[in-house]
Amino acid sequence: MSHYLITGAASGIGAAIKTVLERQGDRVTTLDLKDADICIDLGDPDLRDAALAREAEHGARYDGIVTCAGVASHFPDPTKITEINFFGSIAVIEALRHNLNPRARILMMSSNSAPQSRNDALVDAMLQGDRDATSELASASSGHEAYASSKLAVAKWVRRAAPALAAEGITINAIAPGYIETNMTLSVAQSETYGQAIKDFVASIPIGRPGQPDDIAHLTRF
């Protein structure tokens, strides 16, 4: 039996991954804003970092971390989109890195929206850990730009982190889901700003249906 930590496991893709892993006999610890084993607001840097430090000191060992917690383009505060999707996810991995067992696996959620980012300065600010610049640039961006940039920053961070982690016997990868039908994405589809674009995108999917959380859960298990 392996032990995994999943962020954002209270709903959507994270919940589906939790179910799949538990069905195969693994132990799962969940981290989310509420309804989780570890309740942390990943959008509040001070409270988040203090809570993660306490969790690291607690000494729980993990065979893997999956970062699913995130918010979408329709979230009202673009700065919070970058804080939760990028900085929050990175903070979890960095805080608990030394709690990982040998040959552990880390999996992060990027997005097929990542290549749509056109704000190189915003992506670079996140990768440099410059929260002030990130906040300034994100606040001047649309929700979609902040979302796409946060997911592009995740993908780039994974590539940069991979060599050092590999030297420790730990692999890190990212999945870039397309449109996955969850409560969060349904809210985007129903929004005035992004609703029609989502409908057009779903209509263009060759398989003829939107993705489902289980699609990503089984890929994650692999």
Q: What is the pLDDT along the chain (222 residues), one digit of tens a residue?
A: 999 999 999 999 999 999 999 999 999 999 999 999 999 999 999 999 999 999 999 889 999 999 999 998 889 999 999 999 999 999 999 999 999 999 999 999 999 999 999 999 999 999 999 999 999 999 999 999 999 999 999 999 999 999 999 999 999 999 999 888 877 776 776 777 877 877 887 788 888 888 898 999 999 999
The residue among 184, 170, 219 whose CA lies nearest residue 65 is 170
The residue among 104, 92, 76, 93 whose CA lies nearest residue 168 is 104
pLDDT on residue 186: 66
For residue 90 the two structure tokens come to: 């990175």
89-96 vs 45-58: helix axis angle to the nearest 10?
30
Backbone φ/ψ region at 38: left (φ over 0), alpha (ψ -120 to 50), beta: beta
Q: Please, how many CA atoms are within 13 Å of residue 205, restricted to the half-sphere of its CB?
A: 18
* Spatial separation of the C-alpha atoms in residues 151 and 84, rounded to whole Å: 11
120-127 vs 143-167: helix axis angle to the nearest 10?
40
Q: Give the DSSP H or E segment for 161.
A: helix 143-167
* Spatial separation of the C-alpha atoms in residues 51 and 42, rounded to whole Å: 10
Find the angle CA(21)-CA(27)-CA(29) to the nearest 5 degrees.
100
Radius of gyration of the chain from its Cα atoms, rounded to whole angstroms: 17
* Spatial separation of the C-alpha atoms in residues 71 and 87, rounded to whole Å: 13
